[in-house]
Chains A and B, each alone.
Chain A
């Protein structure tokens, strides 16, 4: 048989096979190497230390990609709600004078159960669960 032909086949097969093998193996190997942020979902978020938040005050905490408002009602009573106003999605805040959650955009107010008190919001705020572990406050999704 024509050795030139044979050589060509060898080269084609050899190149093709090894090139395609590399193009398969390279993604697989990179896949197996865990990315910089190894954790997947956000099921719970640490919201700081107990001492950081005084009673009758609130702060906004990032939960995954959404804002959550954490409110310390009293020494031992912690509440957390979605901070996305149900009217037009502005971020709500805690009003210390009124002891209510308030939205600056159109004056919607919610009580400390997340229910709408007045203003345009059509629905209550979704509630999150708050646990105090030692001196750390942890917010997690409600069951």
Chain B
């Protein structure tokens, strides 16, 4: 063969590889595969959640150019973004819609992991980091919700931090820490802003890194029944380019959905928060908090000798702990899968969340 000419592209790649060692990464990625079976579509949801998180970071940084985190200016700065900044309505509406979509896809991702049994050994840490990320996403939602400083967000924060104070012993300390004082006010806004743009993103980035590293390390799991049917040899597709191209389609579709939502249903400004006004009738939190909210509404104020709200919070804590420890009780001491128990638990939790969210919205 004659002398091979090195293209400039190859030259740049070589220069980078010598310094960054990218070729080993490329080598690793070229071996990454994704199982093919009837439930493969559920594999997209983790990536979409990551994609939406990236959208949040990007739109969030853009919003930071104009947002002012003080009680006297927050609402006006959001109004400014919505009315005066070019495409401000687009960036802000995408940020709000994407936040909701991200939490939704995170839940879908979690339930798909449960029903496809991807939490099994050795992926327990992936499960824990994932649950932590879900909690962080809810924290992002709760802290971000206050930032526009309108009536709904003010009172939703008031109700939410009130619930924190119901925890025995440390409740009032937690509430005071969250609020930056005794009441929800400018101090709360500053704090929530700090959580939302610095603390939570820092923790989330680390956890996402951990979560992704674990996924690369252990590969993508296949459901046990697929493994059984194929005798351990589940047909795979290469991640790069096959799955990746498909994932790009999904991400592009998500972009289209986001743009449409932002243009056709722009996010509302609401009325500026007035701490001295009485709470409007029918106040309720964002949809992802509706189920626990409605549950607490149903519990009577006194159950035997325990305060109702306390009982509710305790119940949620127990439920959360039990759910986090799922990988441990999903297998019996003999190592066999408690398949029906896990599926039942997953269905029950999903049914509870959906039903109570709907009830909380319409009641």
Contacts and interface: CB of A to CB of B under 8 A. Distances in A.
Contacts of A40: 66, 68, 73, 76-77, 79-80
Contacts of A42: 76
Interface stretch (B11-19, B81-89, B286-294): B81-89
Contact of A32 (B62, B73, B90, B255): B62
Contact of B85 (A20, A35, A41, A141): A35
A79 to B, nearest CB: 21
Contact of B72 (A27, A33, A141): A141
Interface in A9-61: 20, 24, 27-28, 30-35, 37, 40-43
A33 B62 contact: no
B139 to A, nearest CB: 27
Interface residues of B, number: 20
Contacts of A30: 86-87
A32 B91 CA distance: 11
Given A40-B66, A43-B72, A141-B72, A31 B77 contact: no
A40 B73 CA distance: 8
A49 B85 CA distance: 32
A32 B79 CA distance: 16
Contacts of A33: 86
Contacts of A35: 84-86
Interface in A126-143: 141
Interface string B178-212: 00000000000000000000000000000000000
The 8 closest A-B pairs by CB, nearest first: A41-B76, A40-B80, A27-B87, A30-B86, A40-B77, A31-B87, A35-B84, A41-B73
B338 to A, nearest CB: 46
Contacts of B62: 28, 31-32
Given A28-B62, A32-B65, A141-B72, A41 B87 contact: no
A41 B91 contact: no
Contacts of B66: 40
A77 to B, nearest CB: 26
Interface string B40-70: 0000000000000000000000100110100
A42 B91 CA distance: 23
Given A40-B68, A40-B79, A31 B88 contact: yes
B252 A20 contact: yes
Given A41-B79, A43-B76, 12 more contacts: A27-B90, A28-B87, A28-B91, A30-B87, A31-B86, A31-B90, A32-B65, A33-B86, A34-B85, A35-B85, A41-B73, A41-B76
B286 to A, nearest CB: 25
Nearest to A35: B84
A33 B73 CA distance: 21
Nearest to B73: A41
A131 to B, nearest CB: 15
B290 to A, nearest CB: 32
A30 B255 CA distance: 19
A41 B69 CA distance: 12
A34 B85 CA distance: 7
A41 B80 contact: yes
